[in-house]
């Protein structure tokens, strides 16, 4: 028996043979103004093909623009073919196959405006604007759409694509037709399950009509919505849909879970466990005879390998992990699993898209910017000092080493990691912990000279004469002016296990740190009261992360006090004013999560001495991992 991992063995979908079983899952990219693929997007996908991925599935290409008006990517007209053809050629040069995802529409999920209703199978509320009712598609509309889907597939085939994937999941239009909660029709497209699947079946049929039955069609669909409300799909019905799709002629099924109401069950967050969607793929695999593609935090190669060996699915789809590290497949092949840059489930890549921006990544500053942010070797081997060993400082040091610079990293404590050590401490944040370990491991493998327990002074830095200096000294926790504040402790030592919390705890501060600290204390069996002066403020996260945190709070035993102004922190209780009245909450441990302020004094002192430096990360202003890592990378890239 071969020792070769199943992940790296050849696989087949219909008549398409793949060099391995690693699939890049579909994720939207912003194309040119007309919806065609931009040079930036082409290079983004090409980088994943260079990395050894067997099958690359694009994000959705709108087959029909008449009902949407705008789409990030479109494949509705002949003029889209030339750029898609370039993409196909680029991927084929590295042995990857191209699957173009096409779709009939977004339906109620389309983000239009508060006055422009989207279209759907029935006159149902828009997701983003619940007071806006969708327009119902007529039978003539349906026939027009399904024909356009077929034509779109023909354009993909003409461009050299190896397959198409039908966009039929996650409560988008095709899924709305299949869902009782949304489909209230009484004609041939509503009522029974067979009728509700008919719209998608006719899309499959249209592709066969335009491209022939041998042209590979994958259908990505949602067998279970993971929402316990009437009309939303249970797994039993989803399995029956899988059987019907096989009968309609699908060559493979790509299994999704969730819906927009619980978006984190569809696009997982840092808070989900690995393999969180496997149960659905396993049920579908048992019911059909065609290949099944599974997804959902399968980022660890050894875990993905087990999924294949257990027969749970035939192919492993990785979405955000491909954004974080395009070389995933190559590193598996080279037995360099420990060098895979892990996705941390922050979903910043998803969040920035809602602002109309290109994909960005917290841990990979070049994601979807490969064409913009290339590193050039430093011919002079400049000397670089990085002060601070958090994620921004380590990223700067690693980038300098990659450019061939002579790098020193000074860290004032005895460990690298900075605030990541606290951010990744709770069990539900282990993805951040993995990233911290990855950075430390890469520093150890690099040519960076690390000086631990080294307090930097402006005079010493000036005397050392480094060519470049990067200041990544981080931030310090705020101490609010509350009487008795000396009786409280900060969140970071609590999260790191450096403080043994009492049985009853009060957390002051309702931002992301306060919420996660409260959830951590609840998870270890403490009685927790989470307090905030106004309302909880963790909305500066991707919507699926916000949904997940909200549901985690609802499922916890945490008492939440909003609009509570702290008056005094005692050794055993905290007094608050709420709604004009005073109340006292027992607290053996009071935890402060009241924000941070930057530690930039060193940079100011260097400035006075005439030493130029780059100030990055929390030392510039307390923000997120994506800011620190990006600034660390670009500070060195520009040198």
For the stretch 211-238, pLDDT in tens is 999 999 999 999 999 999 999 999 999 9
Q: Which of 172, 210, 435, 596 is catalytic?
A: 172
Report the alpha-carbon distance of residue 298 to residue 340 in Å, rounded: 13
- Look at 40 and 541; give whichever has higher pLDDT: 40
pLDDT per residue as tens digits for the range 313-355: 999 999 999 999 999 999 999 999 999 999 999 999 988 877 7
H or E element that contains 13: strand 11-13
pLDDT per residue as tens digits for the range 108-154: 998 767 788 999 999 999 998 999 999 999 999 999 999 999 999 99
Alpha helices for 334-487 (secondary structure H) = 348-353, 391-402, 420-423, 430-445, 458-464
Asked if the model's pLDDT at residue 69 lies above 70, the reply is no
Asked if the model's pLDDT at residue 405 lies above 80, the reply is yes
Asked if the model's pLDDT at residue 17 lies above 50, the reply is yes
Q: Where are the beta strands (DSSP E) in 142-244?
A: 163-168, 216-221
Asked if the model's pLDDT at residue 70 lies above 70, the reply is no
User: In terms of Cα–Cα distance, which of 63, 58, 51 is closest to 26?
Assistant: 58
Phi/psi for 625 (5° steps) reads -55, -45
Dihedral-angle region of residue 232 (phi above 0 means left; psi in -120 to 50 means alpha; beta otherwise): beta
Structural domains in the chain, CATH included, are: 6-111+139-170+185-353 (3.20.20.70), 383-477+597-637 (3.40.50.720), 485-594 (3.50.50.60)
pLDDT per residue as tens digits for the range 422-438: 999 999 999 999 999 99
Q: What is the pLDDT of residue 541?
A: 85
Q: What is the pLDDT of residue 437?
A: 98
Q: What is the pLDDT of residue 4?
A: 87
For the CA atoms of 125, 127, 132, 134, the dihedral, rounded to the nearest 10 degrees, stands at: -60
Contact 61/145 with Cβ under 8 angstroms? no
Helix (H, G, I), strand (E, B) or coil at 503: coil
Name 458's Cβ contacts closer than 8 Å, sequence gap at least 6: 602, 605, 606, 608, 609, 611
Contact 110/118 with Cβ under 8 angstroms? yes
pLDDT per residue as tens digits for the range 535-566: 888 777 889 999 999 999 999 999 999 999 99
Q: What is the pLDDT of residue 32?
A: 84
Asked if the model's pLDDT at residue 501 lies above 60, the reply is yes
pLDDT per residue as tens digits for the range 296-318: 999 999 999 999 999 999 999 99
Phi/psi for 432 (5° steps) reads -70, -35
Asked if the model's pLDDT at residue 2 lies above 60, the reply is no
Report the alpha-carbon distance of residue 135 to residue 114 in Å, rounded: 14
Neighbours of 189 (CB within 10 A): 19
Name 271's Cβ contacts closer than 8 Å, sequence gap at least 6: 264, 345, 428, 429, 545, 548, 549, 552
Q: pTM, whole model, 2 decimals?
A: 0.96
Q: What is the pLDDT of residue 112?
A: 65
pLDDT per residue as tens digits for the range 87-101: 999 999 999 999 999
Name 126's Cβ contacts closer than 8 Å, sequence gap at least 6: 108, 110, 112, 117, 118, 132, 133, 134
Question: Is 172 one of the catalytic residues?
Answer: yes
Name 335's Cβ contacts closer than 8 Å, sequence gap at least 6: none
- Span 482-510, mean pLDDT? 97
Q: What percent of the chain has pLDDT over 70?
A: 98
Report the alpha-carbon distance of residue 259 to residue 171 in Å, rounded: 5
């Amino acid at each position: 028996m071969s020792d070769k991992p199943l992940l790296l063995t050849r696989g087949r979908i219909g008549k398409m043979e793949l060099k391995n079983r690693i699939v890049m899952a579909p994720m939207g990219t912003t194309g040119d103004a007309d919806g065609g693929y931009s040079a930036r997007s082409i290079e983004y996908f090409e980088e994943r093909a260079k990395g050894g991925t067997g099958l690359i599935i694009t994000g959705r290409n709108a087959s029909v623009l008449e009902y949407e008006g705008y789409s990030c990517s479109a494949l509705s007209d002949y003029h889209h073919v030339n750029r898609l053809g370039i993409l196909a050629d680029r991927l084929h040069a590295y042995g990857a196959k191209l699957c173009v995802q096409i779709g009939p529409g977004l339906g109620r999920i389309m983000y239009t405006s508060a006055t422009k209703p989207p279209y759907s199978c029935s006159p149902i509320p828009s997701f983003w604007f619940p007071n806006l009712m969708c327009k119902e598609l007529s039978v003539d509309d349906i026939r027009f759409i399904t024909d356009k889907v077929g034509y779109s597939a023909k354009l993909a085939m003409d461009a050299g694509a190896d397959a198409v994937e039908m966009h039929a999941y996650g409560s988008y239009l095709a899924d709305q037709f299949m869902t009782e909660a949304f489909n209230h029709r009484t004609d041939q497209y509503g009522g029974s399950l067979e009728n509700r699947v008919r719209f998608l079946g006719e899309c499959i049929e249209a592709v066969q009509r335009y491209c022939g039955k041998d042209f590979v069609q994958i259908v990505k669909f949602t067998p279970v919505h993971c929402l316990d409300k009437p009309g939303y799909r249970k797994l039993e019905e989803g399995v029956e849909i899988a059987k019907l799709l096989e009968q309609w002629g699908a060559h493979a099924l790509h299994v999704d879970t969730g819906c927009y109401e619980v978006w984190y069950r569809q696009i997982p967050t840092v808070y989900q466990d690995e393999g969180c969607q496997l149960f659905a793929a396993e049920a579908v695999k048992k019911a059909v005879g065609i290949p099944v593609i599974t997804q959902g935090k399968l980022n660890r190669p050894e875990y993905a390998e087990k999924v294949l060996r257990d027969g749970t699915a035939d192919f492993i789809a990785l979405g955000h992990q491909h954004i974080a590290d395009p070389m995933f497949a190559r590193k598996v092949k080279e037995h360099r699993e420990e060098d895979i840059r892990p996705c941390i489930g922050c979903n910043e890549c998803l969040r920035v898209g809602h602002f109309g921006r290109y994909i960005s990544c917290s841990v990979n500053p070049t994601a979807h910017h490969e064409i913009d942010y290339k590193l050039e070797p430093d011919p002079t081997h400049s000397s670089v000092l990085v002060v601070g060993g958090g994620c921004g400082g380590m990223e700067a040091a690693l980038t300098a080493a990659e450019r061939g610079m002579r790098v020193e990293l000074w860290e004032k404590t005895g460990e690298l990691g900075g605030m990541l050590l606290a951010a990744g401490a709770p069990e539900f944040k282990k993805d951040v912990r993995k990233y911290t370990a990855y950075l430390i491991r890469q520093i150890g493998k690099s040519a960076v000279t690390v000086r631990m327990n080294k307090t930097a002074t402006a005079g010493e830095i000036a005397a050392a004469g480094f060519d470049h200096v990067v200041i990544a000294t981080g931030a310090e926790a705020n101490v609010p002016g509350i009487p008795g504040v000396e009786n409280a402790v900060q969140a970071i030592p609590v999260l790191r296990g450096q403080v043994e919390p009492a049985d009853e705890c009060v957390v002051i501060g309702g931002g992301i740190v306060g919420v996660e600290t409260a959830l951590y204390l609840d998870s270890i069996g403490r009685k927790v009261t989470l307090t905030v002066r106004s309302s909880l403020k963790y909305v500066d996260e991707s919507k699926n992360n916000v949904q997940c945190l909200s549901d985690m709070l609802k499922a916890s035993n945490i008492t939440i006090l909003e609009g509570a102004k702290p008056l005094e922190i005692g050794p055993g209780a905290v007094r608050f004013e709420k709604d004009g009245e005073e109340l006292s909450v027992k607290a053996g441990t009071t935890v402060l999560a009241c924000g941070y302020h930057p530690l930039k004094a060193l940079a100011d002192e260097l400035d006075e001495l005439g030493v130029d430096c780059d100030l990055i990360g929390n030392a510039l202003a307390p923000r997120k991992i994506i800011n620190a890592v990006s600034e660390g990378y670009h500070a060195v890239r520009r040198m």
